Structure 1
Amino acid sequence: MQQSRVIPSPRSFACDLATLCAPTLAGLKPASLFRYQPAPGQDAAAMAAAWHAALSPRGVTVRVLRQCPRTGAVLVYVYRPARVARLLAAPHMLDFLAGEGYTPGTADELLDQLAERLCCEGDFPHEIGVFLGYPLADVIGFIQNRGKNFTACGYWKVYTDPTAAQAEFDRYKKCERIYARCYYNGTPIRRLTVAA
């Protein structure tokens, strides 16, 4: 007997959340980021708020960092607040962010400053990599090299250890494949979200 399979529908907020943020939902990664363009009549910010309400009891926050006033597209940050807070509280991370012009503060205050930079600055704030859990040395390497001269490229551009980074990329890709299969076969996102 052949198992029935749900056919993927066109991209939706839930689909992007389940597949693009799989490593964060699985607890492998502290945070993920994706851009979502809502269909006419959809309110992407309301969708993010609804998913935040559904996933926050499992230790995952869904937050809109930026919304385009013209198109309604949103930049959605999906993260595990406790892990991001620990990550950003490390002295070397605070020193780096201070050097990039951030005022020291809590993780929420630093995220507010990042959101402000995304909305108001002409240049993209490449320090966003530290908010996604990328190795600090690779984020610094990216900034110093203007995105060139990397030794490997996957979820981020690598300037330090390409072998270790590739192993991490492979873990994330495998997680995304598993989560996509589960999601398309009907497993609810809440069930796919590993509790903190």
Structure 2
Amino acid sequence: MEKSFESVLIEQCAPTLAGMKPANMFIFKSCGRRAVYAKADCWSCRLEPYGIAVCILKECGGSFLVYVYRKAWLDRIIKSPMISSFLTGLGYDTVSSGIALTQLSDRLCLKKEFPHEIGIFLGYPFFDVLSFIENNGRNYVFCGYWKAYFNPSAARKRTDQYKKCAGIYKRMFESGTPIMRLVVAA
């Protein structure tokens, strides 16, 4: 049975909806392209007063990579000096999150190699993202929501918090709590 857009949104993006994480993403499979874009646009409009946006980063063969993010938080991340310098070195324009996300979407769609800098757009620690790239995803000290190369206890704690949040949000949604009552304002 195909899951609804809303149930996948809750399962995969609870930490962002709760204000614990700047962004999450998920793959949504559907045979209706127009319907998926309409859902993403609808949720982006509904969540906008809370500082949250929803966009499609990539589509391929009936699968859609949906990105849910807190715009102001992402803007702060990509404008921080180290991260801005790193992304600029990769060809990104870090003037705004909107421009950078368009470029990330282009890289996802046009590049043969996966843009691992996506970890920055998901709020993962900068040095873990750099180390992931430098080590080709190997030699990490902990693997949870991301591969951590430094401070495994902090990464484990954060992963546990995200999982707990996702579990609580899923139970509440399944028991009838509307998504809008689960969203925390920016």
Alignment TM class, shorter chain as reference: over 0.9
Q: Does 1:72 align with 2:73?
A: no
| TM score, norm. by length of structure 1 | 0.91
Q: Distance in 1 between matches of 2:174 and 2:34?
A: 22
Q: Which amino acid aligns with 2:156?
A: Q
CA contact (8 A) 1:38 1:72 kept: yes
- Residue 114 (structure 1) aligned to one of 78, 101, 104: 104
In the superposition, relative to structure 1, how do residues 60 and 104 fare at CA in structure 2: closer, same or farther (>3 Å)? closer
CA contact (8 A) 2:23 2:122 kept: yes
Q: Which residue of structure 1 aligns with residue 46 of structure 2?
A: 54
Q: Does 1:98 align with 2:88?
A: yes
Q: Which residue of structure 1 aligns with residue 181 of structure 2?
A: 191
Q: Which amino acid aligns with 2:152?
A: P
- Deviation of residue 50 (structure 1)? 1.2
Q: Distance in 2 between matches of 1:63 and 1:183?
A: 22
Report the aligned-residue RMSD: 1.4
Q: Does 1:181 align with 2:171?
A: yes
CA contact (8 A) 1:45 1:74 kept: no
Q: Which amino acid aligns with 1:45?
A: Y
Q: Which residue of structure 2 aligns with residue 45 of structure 1?
A: 37
Q: Which amino acid aligns with 2:102?
A: D
Q: Which residue of structure 2 aligns with residue 4 of structure 1?
A: none
Q: Which residue of structure 2 aligns with residue 3 of structure 1?
A: none
Give the stretch that moved more between structures: 93-102 or 137-146.
Answer: 93-102
In the superposition, relative to structure 1, how do residues 135 and 41 fare at CA in structure 2: closer, same or farther (>3 Å)? closer
Q: Distance in 1 between matches of 2:39 and 2:97?
A: 23
Q: Does 1:12 align with 2:4?
A: yes
CA contact (8 A) 1:44 1:72 kept: no
Q: Distance in 2 between matches of 1:172 and 1:74?
A: 23
Q: Which residue of structure 2 aligns with residue 157 of structure 1?
A: 147
| Unaligned ranges ≥5, structure 2 | none
- Deviation of residue 42 (structure 1)? 6.5
Deviation string 1:1-21 (CA, Å, 9 cap, x unpaired) is xxxxxxxx7421100111110
Q: How many residues align?
A: 186
Q: Distance in 2 between matches of 1:77 and 1:180?
A: 18
Q: Distance in 2 between matches of 1:106 and 1:195?
A: 21
CA contact (8 A) 1:44 1:73 kept: no
Structure in which a larger fraction of residues adopt helix: 2
Q: Which residue of structure 2 aligns with residue 6 of structure 1?
A: none
- Residue 136 (structure 1) aligned to one of 113, 123, 126: 126
CA contact (8 A) 2:27 2:66 kept: yes
| Unaligned ranges ≥5, structure 1 | 1-8
Identity %: 47
- Deviation of residue 39 (structure 1)? 4.2
